[in-house]
A and B are shown apart, each in its own frame.
Chain A
Amino acid sequence: DAGVTQSPTHLIKTRGQQVTLRCSPKSGHDTVSWYQQALGQGPQFIFQYYEEEERQRGNFPDRFSGHQFPNYSSELNVNALLLGDSALYLCASSSVVDTQYFGPGTRLTVL
């Protein structure tokens, strides 16, 4: 039974570009949450998707958007990248009967 998977593992972009990160949830999970973890910090909640709708959102600008597909997988999109967007992006999946399990993350570097 595969856990949460994320792709790509690493990504290097330049300022102003756009990026898409992908997440496949653990089998049986229908909810996907995204977190940003800057170096030396704890993860910060970006948003959560359930039934293909954004259900909760943290304090992140509209440059951060997402999508959930019918198979429960999800994408995180970031437009107009800034240097400060460099971080580890973590995806977590969950269900009403199971807590959040995290994927290995995508390391984004913005130059």
Chain B
Amino acid sequence: AQSVTQPDIHITVSEGASLELRCNYSYGATPYLFWYVQSPGQGLQLLLKYFSGDTLVQGIKGFEAEFKRSQSSFNLRKPSVHWSDAAEYFCAVTNGGATNKLIFGTGTLLAVQP
């Protein structure tokens, strides 16, 4: 069965520091991978997605993620964090197509220190 693991429940970084959020997935074939961000009390906003091709994908708000098949990972990175990036981040996987059901990790809550 497909699954997603986000090992870090809570991360605190200083404003301007770099960020890496970890995501590991379990899936037999090539997965479709996503990162979503959720501000308090809000819905989910799509940051970026990987379907195929270049394993380094660029997203909105200066985020990027790298797909590493050998490590079953899809980590999210940002070179310089802004206070407005404080939110919860979810990694998700689906199979077979962009419209299929998403399997989410439990999320990583990001706090940004001034």
B contact residues around A31 at 8 Å (CB): 99
| Number of residue pairs A-B, CB distance < 8 angstroms | 64
B interface residues, how many (CB within 8 angstroms): 23
- A66→B26 CA distance, assembly (Å): 30
> Does the CB pair A96–B44 fall under 8 Å?
no
Question: Shortest distance in angstroms between B64's beta carbon and chain A's nearest beta carbon?
Answer: 17
Question: Contact string, B33-74, partner A, CB cutoff 8 A, digits 1/0?
Answer: 010100001111110010000000000000000000000000
Question: Contact string, B9-49, partner A, CB cutoff 8 A, digits 1/0?
Answer: 00000000000000000000000001010000111111001
Question: Contact string, A84-103, partner B, CB cutoff 8 A, digits 1/0?
Answer: 00000010101111111111
Question: Shortest distance in angstroms between B44's beta carbon and chain A's nearest beta carbon?
Answer: 4
B112 at interface by CB-CB < 8 Å: no
Question: Contact string, A72-92, partner B, CB cutoff 8 A, digits 1/0?
Answer: 000000000000000000101
Query: Which of A50, A99, A103 is within 8 Å of B43, CB to CB?
Result: A103
> Does the CB pair A48–B101 fall under 8 Å?
yes
> Does the CB pair B101–A102 fall under 8 Å?
no
- A103→B36 CA distance, assembly (Å): 13
Instruction: Using known A-B contacts A90-B43, A90-B44, A102-B45, determine if residue A56 contacts B105 with beta carbons closer than 8 Å.
Output: no
Interface residues in chain A, defined as those with a beta carbon under 8 Å from any beta carbon in chain B: 4, 6, 31, 33, 35, 40-45, 48, 50, 56, 58, 90, 92, 94-105, 107
